[in-house]
Amino acid sequence: MITEPETVTGILLIAHGSRRPEANSDLVRLAELVGEQGEYPLVEIAYLELAEPTIPEGARRCVERGATQVRMLPFFLSAGVHVRGDLERFREEFAAQYPSVVFTVCEPLGLHPKVVDVVLERLQADS
């Protein structure tokens, strides 16, 4: 009897990156919160530029931790040049570098209905 290998999903949360550490800490906390939910215990972070770990370092960490598929989620509001160009280029590079791992670029946050809810909540918040 042949058994299928177990699928291990790694999540790579990707932000632009900032020279301000406090700005980068949002992604760190988001990764902690996603991991605490239990659905995706293998969560790594990466920054496109200006901060570390880099996207290749984050992908490598996912693979080293046993991921057989990596879902690259851009913590971006729109599908601009970085999402459609840069991240797709990284995905292609990783697919060649790690042929046994499936890399997928997820949609950015965009106009998801829950983003609209957050915008409305922020507009109503006391300043």
Dist. CA 105–CA 80, nearest whole Å: 13
Q: Summarize pLDDT for 50-74 with one digit per residue, the tens.
A: 999 999 999 999 999 999 999 999 9
Dist. CA 39–CA 83, nearest whole Å: 24
Q: Summarize pLDDT for 13-22 with one digit per residue, the tens.
A: 999 999 999 9
Phi-psi category of 66—alpha, beta or left, where left has phi over 0 and alpha has psi -120 to 50?
left
Residue 3: which pLDDT band, with cuts at 50, 70 and 90?
Answer: low
Q: In this predicted structure, what is the pLDDT of residue 98?
A: 98
Helix H or strand E segment including 12: strand 9-15
Q: In this predicted structure, what is the pLDDT of residue 79?
A: 81
Q: In this predicted structure, what is the pLDDT of residue 10?
A: 98
For residues 125 and 26, which has the higher predicted lDDT (pLDDT)? 26
Dist. CA 77–CA 127, nearest whole Å: 23
Q: In this predicted structure, what is the pLDDT of residue 110?
A: 87
pTM for the full predicted model: 0.91
Q: Summarize pLDDT for 71-104 with one digit per residue, the tens.
A: 999 999 888 877 889 999 999 999 999 999 999 9
| Helix, coil or strand: residue 89 | helix
Dist. CA 102–CA 76, nearest whole Å: 22
- Is residue 30 classed exposed, middle or buried when 0-12, 13-18 and 19+ CB atoms within 10 A define those classes? middle
Residue 127: which pLDDT band, with cuts at 50, 70 and 90?
Answer: low
